[in-house]
Amino acid sequence: MPTPTPTPNPPAPGPEILAAFEAAKGFMPVGEGLALYAAAVEAGRLGLPLLEVGTYCGRSTILLAGAAREAGVTALTVDHHRGSEEQQPGWEYHDPETVDPELGVMDTLPTFRRTLHRAGLEDHVVALVGRSPKVAALWNSPLALVFIDGGHTDKHATADYEGWAPHVAEGGLLVIHDVFPDPVDEFTGQAPYRVYLRALASGAFTELPATDSLRVLRRTGDGI
């Protein structure tokens, strides 16, 4: 499968996609979002689906869906919608608005669906509701892009990598969010950093330019 050629000027989302992204709940900064969109547009030229692990309320999904629409492919997003560790009550990133008032547990699925509806992107996304390793175990087709942005423990980040990275097609992209090399960020970014190092050490990926905590790797070989 041919490797898509990056353009000198990275593609950018249109104003309506960017506005929807900025209005959505979530934590991805604009600069990293623009880099994710550019990577997704490039990968989409392979004609294969784009997949993210870690939907939350759909902020980054908007960008993948916009890129998928451009490429004529589908964006897939995997999440159990009960929130990761740092989003639970009592933690820094908890949002009480995401708690189901009847069950008393987090449920970001309704907010995610509203986000996509408002952005006019529902037809370009398939939401896979379940735990990443269980969904990955059922998956058996190549992907143009895998964006890992799920749980930030070693257990969850490693499972996301092991479950999904092997499905990145030759020439496709593996994108990892919240990669923080400084040990002071042990809770928020060290597990993604260790996954990023593992991907490089595998020999299956070649690193492309990074944007802040967003790392982009191209699948260039075997060995995952």
* Burial (0-12, 13-18, 19+ Cβ within 10 Å), 117: exposed
- Angstrom CA distances, 165 to 11, 18, 49, 134, 144, stand at 24, 28, 14, 15, 11
Report d(CA 199, CA 206) in Å as an integer. Answer: 9
φ/ψ (deg, to 5) at 24? -80, 150
Identity of the amino acid at 80? H
Order of strands, sheet of 50-53, starting from the edge strand that comes earlier in the sequence: 125-129, 75-79, 50-53, 143-148, 168-176, 215-219, 205-207
Cα-to-chain-centroid distance, residue 117: 19
Which sequence positions are flagged as catalytic?
A: 152
Element of type H or E holding 192: helix 191-201
